[in-house]
Structure 1
Amino acid sequence: MPYSHYGEIGDVWKHLPLCFFLTEEKPTVNIESNSAYPIYRLNQTDERNYGVFHLFEQVSNSDRYVNIESSPYLQILKKIPGNQETLQTYLGSPGLALEILKDRGQFIFCDIEADPLQNIMDYVRQIHLDNRVKTVQGDSKDRLWHEIENMGKETFLHIDPYRIFEKNANDRCYFDLFIRAINRGIKTMLWYGYETLKEQKEMHAKMREALGNSDIELLGIDFYIEGICDSVVEVNPGVPGCGIMIANLSGPSFEKFKQYANELEAIYQNAWYQNKPARLKSVQVNLKG
């Protein structure tokens, strides 16, 4: 089904760091596992009002958030025609990546559905980048497994599912793909979501177990609604909790990742969603094999 969560808080805590990573790391190959669409017409919903609209409002009315205000993410969105006064257009991760790497990159966009991939090709023809874009339809856990075989540190892989440990028919999950990419030296970002604290704890435990005795080191930062419970979802502005794990990135990327998290938590300290308090809290997750 078409992706409907664009501009929500899960997208904010995905695209904000992603844009800096791509700008800083300057990969020559950019790969996305779950691409969806490159561009969206923004309409206001409760979830988007809590997400990108709240972010823009808070940053515009304060000089406290210097890292986010100057971020590639916000700068790209602001310069889209029609976005100067109020947000009307939103770029998905393919659109953001194409803008950042338009002068240097090759692109591989994977999705299980045909429509977003066709939309991507229509979009890149308009901006004259179609000769540098490849689309792959199917289960990215399998399709990208072989695609990254001979790739390394020149590549950036953005893995963007929701459930990262669900196995397919070939007994592969997205965390398996994540580890495979890391072991090849690929610069890698994994985004994931969850609905309860119980899910979060189980997910982090599975990550530790999967790392085993390897020498892999991961840095992750999760954001979740302050009132999130072990088993009940009381406030859900699109996703009650989500996180990002990164590996093989540079020191400046690690540092900016943490700075963005600190400012985003401050931006949402007094946030409300549907007349309920919806403060965001963050937690840093360091994992080693």
Structure 2
Amino acid sequence: MVTYTHFGKQPDVLKHLVLCEVLQIEKPQIYVETNSACAIYTMVHTPEQKYGIYHFLNEANEDATFQNSLYYQLENESMASGNYLGSPALAMKVLNNDVKGCLFFDLEKRALDNIKSFARHQAVAPPIRTFNCDSTDGVLKLLPSLPKSTFLHIDPYEIDKPNSNGHTYLDVLIGATKLGMKCLLWYGFMTINDKQALNKSVSEKLDKAGIKDYACSELIMNAIKKDTIVCNPGILGSGILATNLSQKSNSMIQDYSKKLVGIYKDARYKEFDGSLYHDTINKKQNIKIKRHL
């Protein structure tokens, strides 16, 4: 039994909705995922999933843009059988044989076995390789051998926490970006203080590395507080950081994020306000706390 329980929650909606569309737009030759987890999960109807994928699919029925999205189409079909597709499955389905290879990293061997099993049962699937190791060092070591046409999906939650060798997932993004590769990094936070510290750290490190051209989009639950955690729907705030993507992809990320705010405007998570607001990393580090906090 694989231990992951994060699937189908609201942050997955943002992350996977964007991932599917970006992959279709950018059409990479190599796909690398740092924290793959499983390809497919059995849904269990938790309150977090009801606030996440179930709410999205229900509300998307009234929105033509979301109905036409790859994420909606793939998950709607899979959910009819009681399953949620994780990012490895979504990537394989979007890219199919148009990619030369998919490389999946995870510390959980059973998650990698799940990916291999899923790939074997697909009529069309790209060649895959799995790596059961620390992906921070593993990907950094691999980067010089990868073509510029590589796409990195970096999905660790804690992007600035150093591993035993002092490397972070932000280092992975910076290294890949400098090599010209396309990157999509997801991160999360639980309080406004966490968000401010993370935003400051990211903007400073990117500036120091000479990376000024990047896109960022955050979705934050209105129930979030400055320094206390009042509820836990999975994550209270999460963001997408993108580098070397086309303008079409960057515009899509912002547009889809703002449309998600719209379909969550009347949402509830248990007894809490489940509505969202949109924000970004301020490149001048002038981060403002929302007025309602």
The bucket for the TM-score relative to the shorter chain is over 0.9
In the alignment, which of 74, 77, 96 is matched to residue 76 of structure 1?
A: 74
Aligned residue identity for 2:202 = M
Cross-structure match for 1:146: 141
1:233 matched to 2:237? The reply is: no
In the alignment, which of 229, 238, 244 is matched to residue 240 of structure 2?
A: 244
Tell me the percent identity.
Answer: 33
The normalised TM-score by structure 2 is 0.91
Name stretches of at least 5 consecutive residues in structure 1 with no aligned partner: none
In the alignment, which of 131, 135, 151 is matched to residue 136 of structure 1?
A: 131
Whether the 8 Å contact between 1:225 and 1:235 is mirrored in structure 2 is: no
Whether the 8 Å contact between 2:97 and 2:125 is mirrored in structure 1 is: no
The normalised TM-score by structure 1 is 0.93
What aligned pairs does 1:131-280 form with structure 2 within 5 A after superposition? 132-213=127-208, 214-280=210-276
Whether the 8 Å contact between 1:34 and 1:111 is mirrored in structure 2 is: yes
Deviates more, 1:71-80 or 1:140-149: 71-80
- Cα 1:189/1:131, change in 2 over 3 Å: closer
For residues 172-197 of structure 1, what are the alpha-carbon distances to aligned partners after superposition, in whole Å with 9 as ceiling and x for unaligned? 01101110011011110000111100
Whether the 8 Å contact between 1:219 and 1:286 is mirrored in structure 2 is: no
Distance of 1:108 and 1:278 partners within structure 2:
35
Quote how far apart the aligned CAs of 1:284 are: 2.6
1:102 matched to 2:96? The reply is: yes
Cross-structure match for 1:121: 116
Quote how far apart the aligned CAs of 1:130 are: 7.4
- The RMSD of aligned alpha carbons is 1.8
- Cα 1:134/1:54, change in 2 over 3 Å: same
Whether the 8 Å contact between 1:217 and 1:287 is mirrored in structure 2 is: no
Equivalent pairs, count: 282
Distance of 2:75 and 2:225 partners within structure 1:
34
Whether the 8 Å contact between 1:219 and 1:287 is mirrored in structure 2 is: no
Quote how far apart the aligned CAs of 1:2 are: 1.7
- Cα 1:159/1:251, change in 2 over 3 Å: same
Name stretches of at least 5 consecutive residues in structure 2 with no aligned partner: 286-293
Cross-structure match for 2:82: 88
